[in-house]
Amino acid sequence: MTGQSRCRKGTKASIKIAALNIRGMGNINTWHPDNKWNHVNQIMNTKRIGILIVGEAHLNDERRNAIENMPRNRLRVLHSEDPVSPNARGVAIVLNKELTETENVTATEIIPGRALIVETCWHRNEKLSILGIYAPVNPVENARFWASINRFFEENPNIRKPDVMAGDMNITEDPIDRLPARHDYASAVDSLDEVRTSLQLIDGWRDCYPTTLKYTWRRPATGTQSRLDRIYIRSSMNEHCYEWTIEKSGVPTDHDMVSVRFSSATAPNIGHGRWVMPLHIVKDRKVKGFLLNAGRTLQEDVETYSKDEHRTPSKNPQILWENFNKEFYTLARQRAKVVIPQIDREI
């Protein structure tokens, strides 16, 4: 970290965070069409993803450098490789240079190839801490993995606890997240629950969709499915998260991508704004006819109901003017939808 308290990049007040297990990088040649990082670069651009957590990244420093030097590359890649076999496992946290601060960033490896935490400056002087996860498949190792995560934060209080924990958990907490429904290894589930409790994290998608059946991974041979890929967020930030999504990514993998949009707690509340009538609408035949006829009637009624002997709570110049405006704006909106497409067709 450079020590600056404010982001260099003018980042927006909301950011899209996603997680995807890509099952390896495909062809190691970044120029080859089967190299999956070309797809990653593309989806981060088209889907406007600010931060992507990648499982089974299969990266080393040489491959990371090749990815960052790809033509039209928009990515900064922070990764943790498996110490025994870098061609397997691995987790990466990818920052979109167009949307995210990529200079004032720190990365801390918690468990090599399995857990990486990145802290970045985001939207003015706000900090955002992301914990990327690719947990072991073996249930016993999975339980030990979560215990190690818990122990790391207990022993390193100087490391900022994550605002977001995302990735392939390789375990489900509830039977509803398996098809067919079943309980996972109890020790691993309990160990993950201890981490969530300690870090004050909640399963945001499940909190938003408490009874929905949807999955992120499937085994074609048996038809079994599981919601292994999840995004946990700090409970205090839940009200600032929206657009929870599980979707196909376009990257060749047997996992779906999960994503959420996260807004700054300090962002102003901006509504839809006031509708403004296009100027050419006043030249429309039906609008002109309304203004002439209804306007003449309004003028006569205003003169009549301005007098005390005719004025009532429901018939007075203020009410008449309000009703006239409502009718006019309703007609103008309707005609705008018709007239503008006609103009576009003529162009």
Confidence of residue 4 (pLDDT cuts 50, 70, 90): very low
Query: Any idea which of 11-15, 97-101, 167-171, 183-187 has the lowest mean pLDDT?
Result: 11-15
**What's residue 347's pLDDT?**
44
Cβ–Cβ under 8 Å, residues 37 and 71: no
Q: Is 55 exposed, middle or buried (0-12, 13-18, 19+ CB in 10 A)?
A: buried
**Phi and psi torsions of 140, nearest 5°:** -70, -45
- pLDDT score of 304: 87
Q: Please check whether residue 39 is in contact with residue 25, taking contact to mean a CB–CB distance below 8 angstroms.
A: no
35 pLDDT exceeds 60?
Answer: yes
**CB of 163 within 8 A of CB of 237?**
yes
Phi, psi (rounded to 5 degrees) for 297: -65, -40
Q: Map tokens 């990515």 to a residue.
A: 75
C-alpha 251/C-alpha 16 separation (Å) is 18
Q: Encode pLDDT of 282-329 as tens digits.
A: 788 888 888 889 989 989 888 888 887 778 888 888 888 999 988 988
Confidence at residue 52, expressed as pLDDT on a 0 to 100 scale: 98
Cβ neighbors of 205 (< 8 A, separation 6 or more) are 230, 231, 244, 246, 258, 260
Residue 132 and residue 78 in contact, taking contact as beta carbons nearer than 8 Å:
no
CB 55 within 8 A of CB 21: yes
Q: 70 vs 29, 40, 74, 92, CA distance in Å? A: 10, 12, 9, 17
Instruction: Tell whether the model's pLDDT for residue 1 goes beyond 50.
Output: no
For residue 215, give every residue at least 6 positions away whose Cβ sits within 8 Å of its Cβ, in sequence order, or none: 177, 179, 225, 226, 227, 246, 256
Residue 90: helix, strand or coil by DSSP? coil
User: What is the pTM (predicted TM-score) of this model?
Assistant: 0.75
Taking only Cα atoms into account, the Rg of the chain, rounded to an integer number of angstroms, comes to 28
The domain locations on the chain are: 14-263, 279-346
DSSP one-letter code for 103: S
- Report the share of the chain in percent with pLDDT over 70: 91
Share of the chain above pLDDT 90, in %: 58
The secondary element (H helix, E strand) that includes residue 120 is strand 115-122
Of residues 16 and 30, more confidently modeled: 16
For residue 332, the model assigns a pLDDT of 85
Cα–Cα distance measured from residue 13 to residue 230, given in angstroms and rounded to the nearest whole number:
23
pLDDT band at 202, cuts 50/70/90? very high
- Above 60 in pLDDT, residue 49? yes
Q: What's the whole-number mean pLDDT along residues 95-114?
A: 93
Name the CATH topology of 14-263: Deoxyribonuclease I; Chain A (3.60.10)
Q: What is the pLDDT of residues 243-288, one digit of tens each?
A: 999 999 989 999 999 999 988 766 555 556 677 777 778 788 888 8
- Region 53-71: mean pLDDT is 92
Over residues 57-66, mean pLDDT? 92
Average pLDDT over residues 38-50: 93
3-class secondary-structure state, position 15: strand
50 against 101, higher pLDDT: 50
**Taking Cα atoms as reference points, which of 262, 21, 225, 20 lies closest to residue 126?**
262
Q: What pLDDT shows up at residue 3?
A: 41
